[in-house]
Amino acid sequence: PAATLVSVTTSANPALVGAAVRFIAAVQVAAPGAGTPIGSVQFVLDGADWGDPVALVDGQAESPVVSDLAAGDHTISARYLGSDAYQPGSALGIIQKIVAGSLGEVTPEEGATFQYAGQHNGLPVTTTIEVPAGAVDEAVKLVFTPLENSPVLPEDGQELVLPFTLRAYVDGELQSNYSFAQAITLTLGYNPDGWIESSFHVAGWNGSQWVPVGLTPLEQDLAAHTLTISLDQLGHELFALTGEPQFRYWLPLIGR
């Protein structure tokens, strides 16, 4: 029997929690063998056989769709079970990243516009991310995640209106300091109830303080309740729209 080479790929990396993911195994014949392998492939998820063996079609096998992987890293591999003419073989495992997020889109080199429709304090809001052509020179996946609360307090005199994270991944790897060749724009929708909208601004957390590095305010639409900023780098992942509340309450304490 001829020797074989087995590889496995994923339909999306990273993938969001709850998103459907499929894995594809390819079986090729090693020289000097020839032909197209037949038989089946057993997919392996985190070290354990996953599902039943899948028949090869034109040298490839597709796994069942999975959408219940927990957040974190998962190892995916595949074993070709062999046939009379071809030897069994195993693929090197790949890491499938599952991340918590609300928008996970691949940005091609020609640019794209993405929208996230969510809610903020009970009001439907829309966040738009515009990536111009030439802003990236590789396939970049952006993951935008609005947060209920920020893990760090806002600047003095400000309160949290809308904290969020924005992360960039290339080939499934998080880019801790990603720079865009051209600035992208974020239009953040928010619920204005209880806030002085003219006080709003966005800053990024650099690990020790809130800074405006890489952020440029562009426009605030008080009728649509949106704030647009430009962003040329993701040196930090955590951002926050902050502002001053319309009302503050003080509770008197009486000592006796």
pLDDT in tens, 128-157: 999 999 999 888 999 999 988 888 888 877
Report whether 161 contacts 242 (CB < 8 A). Answer: yes
Residue 248's pLDDT band (boundaries 50, 70, 90)? Answer: low
For the ranges 5-14, 111-120, 207-216, which has the lowest average pLDDT? 207-216
Phi/psi for 79 (5° steps) reads -115, 125
- Distance from CA of residue 82 to its chain's centroid? 37
Has residue 114 got a pLDDT over 70? yes
Summarize the confidence of residues 118-132 as an average pLDDT. 90
Has residue 236 got a pLDDT over 80? no
pTM for the model stands at 0.79
pLDDT at position 214: 77
Task: Tell me the C-alpha distance between 11 and 135, whole Å.
Answer: 24
For the ranges 54-68, 81-95, 210-224, which has the lowest average pLDDT? 210-224
Q: Which tens digits make up the pLDDT trace of 162-205?
A: 999 999 999 888 988 899 999 999 999 999 999 999 999 899 88
Strand partners, 169: 141, 174
